[in-house]
A and B are shown apart, each in its own frame.
Chain A
């Protein structure tokens, strides 16, 4: 379930010097990349959907019209209705809020925790590093979806706990990334110089190391949002994520299984929404990587 694109990025180490400063150039590079712009547009589209959901979607997405159960797509219900007679289009629009919220906040959570652990490991080295790195190794050796399931089983199934579980399983990816950045920056001359003139660790961290790690984190983070959305949908599909009547996409898919043949639209559209959103983030992530790190272009 993990997004493989992410794993590959880890293999291609980035050169920090290339990503220093020229954000504008990166933006220019990004704009030139048509596919990345498409990705950006898809993401923007879903973000707008999420923000303006109350205005776009029909009112009362949870209102049950049992007389209108499982209607095929029509002029009134563009994407048909589900087994409660609710408008699928409207639910998908509101579902965008949930998926984007889970994607962003889970990744922000893993970035924060991963960064702290990664910086500590990279900066202090020695036994601290060994313990933290070994911990990351352990986490990565887990089948991640099983780990997420176990965490949700402990915390109880809810959207928030699914989010926490997803954040936890993604921590080591960011931790390792930051750690390797810190290690390579630490040896740079200007850090040595900064230490020489007596700058405190904290200041060094904030003024030099963190900014230098930003670019790869943004790239990784964008791709990780895609993964997180998929993982949340998977947990929702298993009934371990958002609870009814919340219009979470994975949960909508799970509900549709019963009507695979009689009402395939209940299955097709939520899945399509997941796929498009994830695609948007993946395309954008690819574009960002190329833009921020021209050396890695293939």
Chain B
């Protein structure tokens, strides 16, 4: 187990290294001199030239790349061209905002998905089953930015139940400690703020949750159907335990594998792929941070931002793989 873990971690190094290389090539292929972009329309030619040299952009690309790698090895993710702040410091609030949203979405997805799946299987071929499964199919096919717009229109504008944009009530801002606002408000005992933070999470969270929710529901249902056919349930039944409770318990246990799979695949996608949701809901997350950085040609931010997201993604997948064997001893790795 340990050697397997180490081997996997070792394998990640060339992947991440290769990725930084591709990114650095790619961003330099985008037309537009960062110095010009940063200085803006007003800049004179000399100013642009001076800044180009100062940022080291006149050096050959491979020198720039090696310099960047050297920085990373010493834990330095570079300094934003635009704001002059170290990326390592700057990135955290953005990352926390997205992680909070993604985790929130995932919890909704897991909770509703598992329960819908179990109930569907339990009442197989009932109207509930049909509706739930049709909804799940629709959910998988949902353009989530459209769903976000629908939600904003319906629940925020027409009904006025939920806020349209942002993370918190700006009239009563959260005092950021960890930058996970739910945690921050709880440790400070700011219950009013906590409520606001959750209200702001609901619409973007539900949009992002749709796809994983639908997948989890479908996977849970099929694994549940298998459970119901197994000897094991028959035995439990023979022992006279209450059926639904038994099945619920076993189904939950069985649902762990699909849920883990989804977490592994989707959490990573949510981290980098929430750009559209972040745009619609003005969520100050990492997706927009990187997207804006592409617009500003802020090379250090793009490179390090993508690296951080990819790193989290591969780590989640690694952990998920390891958890498989933990939860289901039948899965073995050499």
Contacts and interface: CB of A to CB of B under 8 A. Distances in A.
Given A267-B150, A278-B143, 6 more contacts: A145-B273, A145-B275, A149-B275, A151-B26, A237-B145, A257-B149
A58 interface: no
21 contacts: A4-B262, A8-B219, A8-B261, A137-B15, A138-B19, A142-B19, A142-B272, A143-B271, A143-B306, A145-B273, A150-B23, A154-B31, A237-B276, A238-B276, A250-B143, A257-B149, A261-B157, A271-B146, A275-B146, A279-B137, A279-B141
Interface residues of A, number: 47
B268 A143 contact: yes
A226 interface: yes
Interface string B211-230: 11001000100100100000
**B contact patch SS:** helix
Interface in A163-211: none
Interface in A57-105: none
B262 A143 contact: no
Interface in A126-149: 134-135, 137-138, 141-146, 149
B137 A35 contact: yes
Nearest to B138: A279
Interface of B: 14-16, 18-19, 22-23, 26-27, 29-31, 137-138, 140-146, 149-150, 152-153, 157-158, 211-212, 215, 219, 222, 225, 261-262, 265-266, 268-269, 271-273, 275-276, 279-280, 287, 290-291, 294, 302, 306, 309-310, 313-314
B209 to A, nearest CB: 12
Contacts of A264: 153
A2 B269 contact: yes
B39 to A, nearest CB: 20
A234 interface: yes
B19 A141 contact: yes
Contact of A145 (B14, B23, B265, B272): B272
Contacts of B313: 141, 143
A119 interface: no
Interface in A1-51: 1-5, 7-8, 11, 35
Given A137-B15, A141-B16, A275 B276 contact: no
